[in-house]
A and B are shown apart, each in its own frame.
Chain A
Amino acid sequence: MDVVNLDAANYKDLLKRYIDTRDEQSLYGAEQISKSFIKNNVPPEEIVNLHIQALAELYPNLSEKTGHSMNFLLETMISYGMAHQEYQTLREKQLELKTEISVAAGMQETLLATTKPKIEGLDIGVVSVPAHQMNGDYHHFIKGRDGSLGVAIADVVGKGVPAALCMSMIKYSMDSFPEESMSPKAILENLNRVVERNVDPSMFITMFYAQYMPSEHKLRYSSAGHEPGFYYHKKEDAFKEIEANGLVLGVSSESNYERYERYVEKGDMVILLTDGVTECRDGDRFIESEEVLEVIKSYAHLPVQKIVDHVYKHFERLQNFQLRDDFTLIILRREV
Chain B
Amino acid sequence: MGLQSCININKEWDIVGARQMGRDIAKKIGFGTVDQARIATAISELARNIYLYAETGQICFEVIDTINQKGISMIAVDSGPGIRDISQVMEDGYSTSGGLGAGLPGVKRLMDEFDIKSEEGKGTEVRSIKYVR
Contact = CB atoms under 8 A, between A and B. Distances in A.
Contacts, number: 49
Q: In the complex, which range does the number of interface residues on chain B fall in?
A: 10 to 19
Classify chain A: how many residues form its interface, as a range: 10 to 19
Nearest to B39: A78
A87 B106 CA distance: 12
Contacts of B11: none
A82 B98 CA distance: 11
A51 to B, nearest CB: 12
A83 interface: yes
A147 B59 CA distance: 81
Given A87-B100, A87-B101, A82 B33 contact: no
B102 A79 contact: yes
A83 B100 contact: yes
Nearest to B102: A82
B20 to A, nearest CB: 13
A261 B24 CA distance: 87
Contact of B101 (A45, A52, A85): A85
A49 B100 contact: no
Given A82-B101, A82-B102, A49 B32 contact: yes
A115 interface: no
Contact of A52 (B33, B38, B92, B98): B33
B37 A90 contact: no
Contact of A86 (B32, B33, B37, B92): B92
Nearest to A77: B37
B34 interface: yes
Interface string A71-89: 1001100110111111101
A109 B14 CA distance: 60
Closest 3 CB pairs of A and B: A82-B101, A86-B101, A83-B101
